[in-house]
Structure 1
Amino acid sequence: AQGQFVPAGSWLPIIFNPSFPYRLTHTVIAAFLTTALVVAGVGGWHLLRDRANLGARKMLAMGLGMVAVMAPLQILAGDEHGLNTLEHQPAKVLAMEGHYDAHPDGAPLILFGLPSDRDERVRYAVEIPRLSSLILRHDPDAPLPGLKDFARDRRPPAAILFWSFRIMVGLGLAMLMLGVWGLWARWRRRLYDTPWLHRAAVAMGPAGFVAVLAGWITTEVGRQPWVIYGHMLTADARSPIAAPAVATSLAAFVVVYFAVFGLGVLYVLRLIAKPPEAHEAEPRRTPRHAAGITPVATFEPTNREKDA
């Protein structure tokens, strides 16, 4: 009535909406995986140059260990997240799967193909019969609707979702294989003597960032054309701002973010290029504290602690 969507008495139902626990879990695990892959990749990079570097060994062992634990958990969390999304945002999941037609007797899993919103089909589809119903309904014979059950102006763009989702899932499976390979090498006591494993860790170092971006694209593009799902279209939420003003602010954001991001990447790459060293010096200056707080004496390790 007021031209606004106002919560009835509390904002909590909006914040803690039905997808909240699934998204939170999925995102937190993704953060752990991204960090672990970077640590393992840097460790593998330095082990390829010096197999005896103890710091690099620790980095590889800890990073691959975290990947081995978190990758299976992420797959389970993703499965639960997918079931929740199918319940509350079915068009998003159908676009991710490339299902334009309804499947009353079990839907196939389309591994690859070229989705066409204009033709409402996936060209050159490579399918596994009934596997999509098994994944999404845990029943190979369960029916699934299709995008054709939704009006054309109420569907997300399937081509973007189809491929962003497969990039995310494909990288997730690659993380799982890397973690299993690391466990196998650890069990055989070859974790630090398998150069191909170290190369794989280096290659997978940026994979977490790519998977997170692909997941973000899947989430945000998948909720289109809604800004409030099922209630308010994105087209109806536009602000009455002139195009030149939007272009100017966008250009400013691009310049600032690319400068900050570029400098940050250069700094991180410089840190990565330096191999970890044993007995690195501790900071010797007393740290500055806020006014009124007495500084704590700087810790100076003993020779025995340094040797340890």
Structure 2
Amino acid sequence: MGWFKRIKEGITTSTKDKKETPEGLWYKCPECNTVVSTDEHKKNLWVCGECNYHSRVGSAEYFEILFDGGKFTEFNKAMSSGDPLKFEDTKKYPDRIKSSQKKTGLKDAIKTGQGKLNGRNLVICAMDFKFIGGSMGSVVGEKISRAIDVAVKEKCPLIIISKSGGARMMEAGFSLMQMAKTSAKLTLLAEAKLPYVSILTDPTTGGVTASFAMLGDINIAEPGALIGFAGPRVVKETIGKDLPEGFQTSEFVLEHGFLDFIVHRHQLKEKLAESFDFFAITSKTKK
């Protein structure tokens, strides 16, 4: 029975002396369960090296990827949502806003900036899903509208990177108005003959899909992104039928003609540069 008794002390470290591994050092792919260091995952642009699963990233990461040297000028940085409807749920809307701002370091669900992509001046609007699900409220609509004004004034292309659950219910009609507002502003961009590229990432749904996200001169998406208006569960319950495999993925949407092409994050900057070169050549040819 001596085999089952600890004769010597100190064979293992006592529980109180054990050191926990700090959080955030490792990334585990939710698709294939591959584990890599967070630094390695970042170097690979937050894409799994084994299965090419594209992790959700926010405006800061896209600006780092697309703007030359990660340098840009952000505008309307301090804009924050009010509470026009005095919306009350389990948590008051102003408290929800303040909590999200503190948690994310963002003022709202979108960031807008101007910089250069391969030496070409342009404006980029990038949404952040971590801020109340990337929902579109009055601030999101206003910042996109003002970004379009900058693009028209500077005579430069516009990119909008969508990542949203749709309209923000806490602003009701004010949120829905942003669909018409942003669409009308994009018409001004078109009249100025300036290119607009819409990038749909995971997820792009609801009122965002029903407005500016699908109005690009070129609509592109990342691999495996969820793209649609209503969610798959709602669609299934509405039509009373099982949905086809891969329903509402970017690959499915491309196959049915709602996208121009799908771009791996590693090639995103290069493909955008090629697209803007094409627009510039076409514009000169028409003249």
TM range (shorter): under 0.3
Larger helix percent: 1
User: Greater relative contact order (Cα 8 A, min sep 6): structure 1 or 2?
Assistant: 1
Q: TM-score, normalising length from structure 2?
A: 0.25
Q: TM-score, normalising length from structure 1?
A: 0.24
Larger strand percent: 2
